[in-house]
Amino acid sequence: MVNPDPKHGRWVLPLIIAAMVLLTYTFVNSIEPADNPTGSTQADPPFPTDATSSTTTLPTDIAAFMVTLDIFQNQAEAYGEQVIEINTRWDDRDALFAETRTALIDLQDEIGAWETSVAQVEGVPPDLAAGHVALVIEVSNLAPKVEDIVLGLEAADDGTLRRAASAEFQVLVDQVVAAIDNIRATAQASVSGSTTTTAAG
């Protein structure tokens, strides 16, 4: 039988090219996004403040308060580290009793003053006011706990009371940080809700 199409191979090359295009497209789309060309591995900030963004922009007052919260968190964590350092120096007998007691009392006074600063901070956005009140309550627990550490230092025991109070202080610091994280979450939800409403309208 005579083949009506003597050039039957003419369809092979187009089919191969089409298959290669399809495979290339599939492969390219399966590749993970390239790393930042600057070599930076820093994650995107959770609260973008770029004024050109139409979906993730934070209101100015909330963005400013987020910076304040960062400062508050750093300070609370620093107080936790100070308590550890003071206790470690006493346990290792690198500090005298009077020196340790004075350091703790000074820290208690400093935290008390900081509590006032947290409570009276200006520029709290209305949507975050409830979270700020919760934060103030958590911060107010820190100074009295330092007093418990002082009482433990003065107690006629093997240091158990002091160590227990010190451990409780660290828990309170964690609760302060948790209160700060809750405010951040509320801010994010507020912005996300506003963006959704705007898009729906």
pLDDT tens digits, one per residue of 99-137? 999 999 999 999 999 999 999 999 999 999 999 999 999
CA 153, CA 83: separation in Å to the nearest integer?
A: 12
Asked if residue 12 has pLDDT above 50, the reply is: no
Q: Are 40 and 104 in contact (CB under 8 A)?
A: no
Q: Side-chain half-sphere of 150: how many Cα atoms within 13 Å?
A: 17
Helix (H) / strand (E) element for 198: namely helix 160-200
Distance CA 123, CA 61 (A): 7
Name the percent of the chain lying above pLDDT 90: 65
* pLDDT at res. 56: 55
Q: What is the pLDDT of residue 148?
A: 98
Mean pLDDT of 59-65: 94
104 by Cβ neighbours in 10 Å (0-12 / 13-18 / 19+) ranks as buried
What pLDDT sits at residue 66? 97
Domain ranges of the chain: 60-191
* Res 146 pLDDT > 80: yes
Q: Are 58 and 191 in contact, with CB atoms under 8 Å apart?
A: yes
